[in-house]
Structure 1
Amino acid sequence: MADAYFLLVCDDVPHDVVLTDPGTRPLDVAQVVRRLTGLSLWRSKVLAVRAPAVILAGVSQEDAEAAATALRAAGARAEVGQQPEPDFPKP
């Protein structure tokens, strides 16, 4: 049986939210990360301090923009980027 690869075409390409710099208030940023991800405060702080870090992966563009705006409001630098398309082997 031959392997078949399919690329689904959809209207909304998944996006990632990347925290590039926690700024001068890392605890405030950690609280926003906690609210966005549901992680504990300790794990959120570790994630915020180890920037650059992917906070959310594979979310819609609207959710990614809202999350980046919340992180920026807390004093962090955050970017929204599209997930790269998978590189399927050619048959």
Structure 2
Amino acid sequence: MADGRYYFTLVCDEVPNDVVLLDPGTRVLDVAQAVSRLTGLSLWRSKVLVTQSPALVLEGVPQDDAETAVVALRDAGAQAEVRERPRPVPPRA
């Protein structure tokens, strides 16, 4: 560390996940309501997000929360999936 910089690698048991809306299906308003409940966005903004699919609905959430969100979106008629976020690559010294 001749340049005075220190690097730390954080180790977590929980890998953050993203919830991705792939296709809203035919029940766009139902899916927009589900997105609104999951994200806290207004119904109008949720509808805009839904119509721009594929869209990232939730970012960096625990596995259980991501799976629950995907079930809610599928129950509303959408196609959605959980994606593990890639682990960051530590900088080289």
Q: Provide the secondary structure at the position in 2 that maps to 1:8.
A: coil
* Alignment root-mean-square deviation, CA: 1.0
Q: Percent identity at matched positions? A: 64
Q: Deviations over 1:2-60 (max 9, x none)?
A: 22222211111110000010001111000000000000000000000100111000110
Instruction: Tell me, yes or no, if structure 1 residue 44 matches structure 2 residue 46.
Output: yes
The match for 2:9 is 7
TM-score (norm 2): 0.92
Q: Provide the secondary structure at the position in 2 that maps to 1:79.
A: strand
Runs of 4+ with >3 A deviation: none
The match for 2:86 is 84
Question: Unaligned 5+ residue runs, structure 1?
Answer: none
Question: Unaligned 5+ residue runs, structure 2?
Answer: none
**Which amino acid in structure 2 is aligned with residue 26 of structure 1?**
V
Cα distance between partner residues in 2 of 1:65 and 1:11: 17
Among residues 47, 60, 63, which one is paired with 1:61 in the alignment? 63
TM-score (norm 1): 0.94
The match for 2:74 is 72
The match for 1:32 is 34
**Which amino acid in structure 1 is aligned with residue 9 of structure 2?**
L
How many pairs are equivalent? 91
Q: Provide the secondary structure at the position in 1 that maps to 2:82.
A: strand
